[in-house]
Amino acid sequence: MSGDHGSSVISAQVRHVEQLLESRGLLDAGEIDTRIDEFLAGGTPANGARIVARAWVDPGFAERLLADANSAIREVGLSMAGGLQEQRLKVVANTAVEHNVVVCTLCSCYPIALLGPSPSWYKSEAYRSRVVRDPRGVLAEFGLELPAGTSVSVWDASAESRYMVLPRRPEGTDGMAEEELAALVTRKGLIGTAAV
């Protein structure tokens, strides 16, 4: 969640549980922080870019990705496991007539394993509230002007479900290798605030 929660009731309860686990020998001091750091170190937008590039070159993978993203991403050695249970991943595809954008209106839920740590603007109250009410206006502020006939779908992430956008493949990239295609994909493209 965004903001400093160092003095919150929940923060105190979490620290209390950590101390109990440490005092009973179930955790070493600092083990939770170490595991969180390890998890975050593996999360990068390059992971999401690899998924997109594979979908662009392999229509069967793209179909599986859109039908059951959690299973499909395992094919490229990735997963949404990062806590006690695997989070549900839904991948939504941009088309010539539909553009998708992701937000978490309540906090900043986000597929860290596939996109790396979330950018500060994603966590901002301005983005979270405005992209739902005026998605075209917010996208224009990011420099993305969509044709009038393109519909915009806003996907609201939650603690259980995360979303990632499958951007449209850029024209003129037919001869490019998968690695070259992955290099074109940005975190903003995976969130839907930019085209690729």
> Which entry of 107, 153, 158, 161 is annotated as an active-site residue?
107
> Which entry of 8, 11, 71, 104 is annotated as an active-site residue?
104
* Residue at 67: amino acid letter: A
Q: Is 109 a catalytic residue?
A: yes
Tally Cβ neighbours within 10 Å of residue 87: 20
Structure tokens that stand for 65 in this block = 């990705």
Task: For residues 27 and 136, give the distance between their C-alpha atoms in angstroms, rounded to a whole number.
Answer: 48
Where on the phi/psi map is residue 18: left (φ > 0), alpha (ψ -120 to 50), or beta? alpha
Q: Classify burial at 191, counting beta carbons within 10 Å of its beta carbon; exposed 0-12, middle 13-18, buried 19 or more.
A: buried
Q: Taking CA 12 as the corner, what is the angle to CA 128 and CA 81, rounded to the nearest 5 degrees?
A: 55
Task: For residues 3 and 74, give the distance between their C-alpha atoms in angstroms, rounded to a whole number.
Answer: 33
Q: Is 107 a catalytic residue?
A: yes
Q: Is 108 a catalytic residue?
A: yes
Structure tokens that stand for 149 in this block = 């006939």
Write the CB contacts of 149 (distance below 8 Å, at least 6 apart in sequence). 97
Active site residues: 104, 107-109
